[in-house]
C-alpha cells in the first residue's frame, strides 16, 4: 500500500497546524502491538489520542522471538526474516487505524521489538525492517530510539520518563509513574527538583512466562491464579537477592537478567506452581516499592500503567505493602494505562521531527541530551 505522507515539519512553526503520528509499541512481555494515533498541535503539545488498535502476537511468533533472545543456528537470517514479519504486522496496525479514521499521519514512531538489550556492550537491538514499513504504509518511519542515548554513554532506557515529565509533572504533588510491562520501570516526578527514572526489575515478564508454562494461558488474568497460591518467603528472599536490585541508577534490565532459567535455579521441586506465582507477584511488588523508597520516599501519588496495572492481586499487594501512598491508574491523568507507552513513543517521534532532544541524561546516564531516532523518509 502506498500513501503520500506529509514531509516532517522543519520547525516548531508546524505546531500552528495539527500533525498526527502513530506510536507503535511492542514490549518485553511479547504479547502484541499497541498502536496509538496521536494529534500534536499548539493546544496539544503532549498529544491527544485520536484512535488506538491492538494486535496480539500468535504463540508461534512469541516463541520465535523468545528464541532470538539467545544465540542459535543461522541467527542473522532468522532475525532478518522476523524483522520483515514484524514490519508487515506493524503496517497492518497502521493501515487499520488509517482506514478507520481517514487520517494519514505525518509519520510512524516505531519502538520495534527488543530481542537484546546490552547497553554495557554499547548496543540495544529492536527488530523492525523500517524500509519495508515505509513501503507498506507510504509513511515516514522513525525507529531505533535507544542507540543514540547508549552511544552517549547512557542506558538507552527507560525513555518514557521524558514524556512522563512533560505530561504529568505537577508543582504541588510528588508523583511516581510506574509502568508495569514485561520489565517494570518508574519515573519520579518531585514537586521540586530533578526527575529520576529507571528500570526496577521484572514486571509481567516472569509472571506471564510461569503462567503459560503451567496453565497454557498467556497471562494470569486479574492475577486470579496467583491469588490461589501462598507466598514462599525463602524463595522471595532468594529472588530479591539478585544483584540488579542493589545497583544504583541509572540502570535498565531485560530478559538478560530475568528469565525462566534464573527462576528455575532458585525454586525447589517441592514448590507448587501457584505458590511460585504468588511469590513472583510479591517480587514485582517489592522491587517496585523498594525502588521508590530508595530514591523518593517522600512520594505521594503512584500512577500505574501497562498490562500489570490490571493484575488485581499485584495492585492490591502494593497497596497493602505501602499504605502511605495513594494508588491510581494513569487514566486519572487523562491517558489510558493501556495506551500510554504507544502514546509516549508517538511523542518521542514528534520530538525527533522537531529536532528536539528527548532523552533525560539524569535518567539514562547519558553524557548529554540527544535527538533520538533514525528517520526513514517516505
Q: Burial, 23: exposed, middle or buried (Cβ in 10 Å; 0-12, 13-18, 19+)?
A: buried
pLDDT given at position 4: 44
> How many other CB atoms sit within 10 Å of the CB of residue 77?
9
Q: Domain tally for the chain?
A: 2
Rounded to 5°, angle at Cα 64 from 145 and 372: 0
Instruction: Please state, in angstroms and rounded to a whole number, the distance separating the CA atoms of residues 310 and 35.
Output: 19
Contacting residues for 246 by C-beta, under 8 A, at least 6 apart: none
Question: Do residues 298 and 193 lie in contact, with contact meaning Cβ atoms separated by under 8 Å?
Answer: no
Both 137 and 177 in a single domain?
A: no
Both 180 and 314 in a single domain?
A: yes
Contacting residues for 119 by C-beta, under 8 A, at least 6 apart: 150, 154, 155, 156, 157, 252
Q: Read off the pTM.
A: 0.92
Both 173 and 291 in a single domain?
A: yes
Average pLDDT of span 321-327:
95
For residue 282, what are the domain limits? 161-333
Instruction: Please state, in angstroms and rounded to a whole number, the distance separating the CA atoms of residues 34 and 32.
Output: 7
Domain boundary among 300, 315, 333: 333
Instruction: Please state, in angstroms and rounded to a whole number, the distance separating the CA atoms of residues 89 and 71.
Output: 24
The answer to the question of residue 7 being in a domain is no
Contacting residues for 312 by C-beta, under 8 A, at least 6 apart: 222, 223, 224, 227
DSSP-based three-state secondary structure for 358 = coil
Both 62 and 131 in a single domain?
A: yes
Both 318 and 190 in a single domain?
A: yes
Both 175 and 293 in a single domain?
A: yes
Cell of 114: 527488543
The answer to the question of residue 129 being in a domain is yes
pLDDT given at position 20: 97
User: Is pLDDT of 340 > 90?
Assistant: yes
The answer to the question of residue 95 being in a domain is yes
The answer to the question of residue 226 being in a domain is yes
Average pLDDT of span 210-220:
95
Least confident of 69-73, 209-213, 363-367: 69-73
Pairing of strands 107-118, 140-143: parallel
Both 61 and 92 in a single domain?
A: yes
pLDDT given at position 201: 96
pLDDT given at position 16: 59
Q: 109-161: per-residue pLDDT in tens?
A: 999 999 999 999 999 999 999 999 999 999 999 999 999 999 999 999 999 99
Both 95 and 203 in a single domain?
A: no
CATH of the domain at 112: 3.30.420.40
Q: What percent of the chain has pLDDT above 90?
A: 88
Both 78 and 191 in a single domain?
A: no
Both 229 and 322 in a single domain?
A: yes
Instruction: Please state, in angstroms and rounded to a whole number, the distance separating the CA atoms of residues 177 and 195.
Output: 11
Both 68 and 151 in a single domain?
A: yes
Least confident of 63-77, 93-107, 220-234: 63-77
pLDDT given at position 166: 95
pLDDT given at position 5: 44
CB neighbour burial string for 52-74, b if at least 16 within 10 angstroms, e if fewer: bbeeebeeebbebbeebbeeeee
The per-residue pLDDT of the chain, averaged, comes to 93
Instruction: Please state, in angstroms and rounded to a whole number, the distance separating the CA atoms of residues 375 and 101.
Output: 24
Both 119 and 238 in a single domain?
A: no
Average pLDDT of span 281-302:
92
Instruction: Please state, in angstroms and rounded to a whole number, the distance separating the CA atoms of residues 194 and 296.
Output: 11
The answer to the question of residue 6 being in a domain is no
The answer to the question of residue 247 being in a domain is yes
Q: 168-203: per-residue pLDDT in tens?
A: 998 889 999 999 999 999 999 998 888 999 999 999
Crossing angle of helices 161-168 and 340-353, rounded to 10°: 100
Q: 32-67: per-residue pLDDT in tens?
A: 999 999 999 988 899 999 999 999 999 999 999 999
Pairing of strands 326-329, 301-305: parallel
Average pLDDT of span 84-109:
97
The answer to the question of residue 1 being in a domain is no
The answer to the question of residue 121 being in a domain is yes
Amino acid at each position: 500500500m502506498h500513501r503520500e505522507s506529509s514531509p516532517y515539519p522543519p520547525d516548531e512553526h508546524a505546531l500552528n497546524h495539527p500533525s498526527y503520528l502513530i506510536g507503535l509499541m511492542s514490549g518485553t512481555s511479547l504479547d502484541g502491538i499497541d498502536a496509538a494515533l496521536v494529534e500534536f498541535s499548539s493546544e496539544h503539545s503532549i498529544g491527544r489520542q485520536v484512535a488506538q488498535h491492538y494486535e496480539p502476537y500468535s504463540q508461534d511468533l512469541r516463541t520465535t522471538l523468545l528464541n532470538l533472545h539467545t544465540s542459535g543456528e543461522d541467527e542473522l537470517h532468522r532475525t532478518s526474516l522476523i524483522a520483515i514479519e514484524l514490519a508487515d504486522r506493524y503496517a497492518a496496525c497502521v493501515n487499520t487505524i488509517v482506514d478507520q479514521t481517514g487520517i494519514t499521519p505525518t509519520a510512524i514512531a516505531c519502538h520495534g521489538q527488543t530481542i537484546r538489550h546490552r547497553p554495557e556492550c554499547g548496543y540495544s537491538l529492536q527488530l523492525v525492517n523500517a524500509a519495508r514499513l515505509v513501503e507498506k504504509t507510504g509513511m515516514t518511519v522513525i525507529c531505533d530510539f535507544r542507540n543514540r542515548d547508549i552511544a552517549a554513554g547512557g542506558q538507552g532506557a527507560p525513555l518514557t520518563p521524558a514524556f512522563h515529565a512533560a505530561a504529568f509533572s505537577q508543582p504541588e504533588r510528588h508523583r511516581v509513574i510506574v509502568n508495569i510491562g514485561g520489565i517494570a520501570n518508574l519515573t519520579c516526578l518531585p514537586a521540586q527538583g530533578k526527575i529520576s527514572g529507571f528500570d526496577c526489575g521484572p514486571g509481567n515478564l516472569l509472571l506471564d512466562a510461569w503462567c503459560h508454562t503451567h496453565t497454557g494461558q498467556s497471562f494470569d488474568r486479574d492475577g486470579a491464579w496467583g491469588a490461589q497460591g501462598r507466598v514462599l518467603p525463602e524463595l522471595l528472599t532468594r529472588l530479591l537477592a539478585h544483584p540488579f536490585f542493589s545497583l544504583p541508577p541509572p540502570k535498565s534490565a531485560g530478559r538478560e537478567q530475568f528469565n525462566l532459567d534464573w527462576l528455575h535455579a532458585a525454586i525447589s521441586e517441592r514448590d507448587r506452581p501457584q505458590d511460585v506465582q504468588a511469590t513472583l507477584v510479591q517480587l514485582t511488588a517489592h522491587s517496585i516499592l523498594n525502588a521508590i523508597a530508595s530514591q523518593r520516599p517522600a512520594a505521594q501519588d503512584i500512577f500505574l500503567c501497562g498490562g500489570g496495572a490490571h493484575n488485581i492481586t499485584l495492585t492490591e499487594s502494593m497497596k497493602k505493602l505501602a499504605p502511605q501512598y495513594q494508588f491510581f491508574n494513569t487514566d486519572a491523568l487523562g491517558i489510558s494505562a493501556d495506551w500510554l507507552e504507544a502514546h509516549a513513543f508517538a511523542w518521542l517521534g514528534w520530538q525527533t521531527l522537531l529536532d528536539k532532544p528527548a532523552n533525560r541524561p539524569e535518567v539514562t546516564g547519558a553524557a548529554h541530551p540527544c535527538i533520538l531516532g533514525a528517520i526513514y523518509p517516505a
